Amino acid sequence: MKLRLFPQETAGLEALARMAEQISAGTHTLAELLGAGPGDFPALTESLRKQEAASTADFATLLTRMRTSFINPLPREDLYALGRLLNETSEILTGAGEVIELYALDRMPARISDQLEILSRQAELTTAAMKSLNDLDSLEDYWLEVLRLAKRADQTHRVLDSELLTAHSPATFTKYSTLAGQFAAASRQMRTVAIQVGSIIVKES
């Protein structure tokens, strides 16, 4: 890692860590939604919206710090890319909650829970990584593990779509497949965050 000679602004890194924490919180809220009844859907979906709003506020903080800080801990384009990806992930999680509420999905296929379990693990690893961006040498294992989980998530999604198509009517398939697609999209976002971190590791080594 490059030797840094001047003190740096750390608020941007702290904002990224908080954004990752909102993603982890979102996966926990979605786990509650998967086990809840329709009467609980509105309150839980609103919790997701609040978590997304907190992420967006932290993204705004990150952008402000990038504009006003003379020395940033990482290149501005990398900070921006990470912030954008994390904020978009929170948006995707909110979308998943809204799909559950709008379609009143209260009998979840087991593989949807498997998708969320993988995504939750990716979110946990990403949260830890965002808190360690000032020590890039420690993040290679994170990068590789999230990529491994992303491959597993892709496979789970393909199998789930096949099972849904076999077991349900076209209308029901569409509902559950839409939710599965939201989870798959969030997992791909976590993979893209890891790839971005890998790029930073290479550039800063």
Residue-wise pLDDT for 135-191, tens only, equals 888 888 998 999 999 999 999 999 999 999 998 999 999 999 999 999 999 999 999
For residues 100 and 183, the answer to whether their CB atoms sit within 8 Å is: no
Taking the C-alpha atoms of residue 61 and residue 55, their distance in angstroms, rounded to an integer, is 10
Residue 8 has pLDDT above 70, yes or no: no
Residue 204 has pLDDT above 90, yes or no: no
With residue 105 as reference, give the H or E element that holds it. none
Closest CA to 190 of 110, 90, 54: 90
Q: Which residue has the higher pLDDT, 100 or 203?
A: 100
**What share of the chain has pLDDT > 90, as a percent?**
76
At 142, which amino acid appears?
Y
Length of the chain: 205
Instruction: Tokens for 163, please give them.
Output: 């099972």
What is the overall mean pLDDT for the chain?
91
Taking the C-alpha atoms of residue 56 and residue 105, their distance in angstroms, rounded to an integer, is 27
Residue-wise pLDDT for 41-67, tens only, equals 999 999 999 999 999 999 999 998 887
Mean pLDDT, rounded, for 76-81: 92
Q: What is the pTM of this model?
A: 0.91
Instruction: Tokens for 197, please give them.
Output: 């971190």
Residue 70 has pLDDT above 90, yes or no: no
Contacts for 59 with CB less than 8 Å, ≥ 6 apart: 15, 19, 83, 84, 86, 87
Lowest-confidence range among 13-17, 111-115, 198-202?
Answer: 198-202
Question: Mutual orientation of helices 110-130 and 140-167 as an angle, nearest 10°?
Answer: 160
